[in-house]
Amino acid sequence: MISSLTAENLACARGDKRLFDGLNFRVMAGQALAVEGANGAGKTSLLRMIAGFLAPAAGRILVKAASNESDDAEERGKSIGWLGHQDGLKPQLSVREQFDFFANLYGRKADSAVLEQVGLARQADLPCRYLSAGQKRRLGLARLLASQRPLWLLDEPFAALDTSGQQLVGQLMARHCGAGGIIIAATHEPLGLGNESLKL
């Protein structure tokens, strides 16, 4: 289990433009951090940097687990559950087949109760190409739960979801933090967790 994630003097550059510089923050186990800012401010880039998809222009990201602290991006990636804008779904696979694939990818046993939890039990045999944007987002949540990873990186977690879907996200986030997990979310909307916020 991760006890903290710390960013030290992070900088992000896209081409010749610096999106942010000298960024410092720490998130402890059981906490959530909302990353706020205008479009293009670097919210998604920060999440990609934490995930190890993008190298910092300067600074480092440290993850502490037990007595060990490391800035190794590959090691950090093994602790991350990701919910982004791209759904990564194969349109010809059914919801159940796609979920089973995700579970196997994470080395987990596929649990159909997760599909029930995210409101997709009735669509389990439906090919993914027929899913609405909100249903695809719910399947993304199922993948996140299947990962059983302690650090969640969420890019606009409420996007494309109706009121019940947004409530579901809130419940899942609260449960994750309550179990000692960490959430870092790029968002334009309040997370509703009494969380800290970071303005870019």
Q: How far, in Å, CA of 82 to CA of 128, rounded? A: 19
- Tell which residue, 169, 152, 114, has the closest CA to residue 30: 152
CATH superfamily label, 1-79+150-200: P-loop containing nucleotide triphosphate hydrolases (3.40.50.300)
**Domain boundaries, given as residue ranges, for the chain:** 1-79+150-200, 84-148
Tens-place pLDDT, residues 116-172: 999 999 999 999 999 999 999 999 999 999 999 999 999 999 999 999 999 999 999
Tens-place pLDDT, residues 164-190: 999 999 999 999 999 999 999 999 888
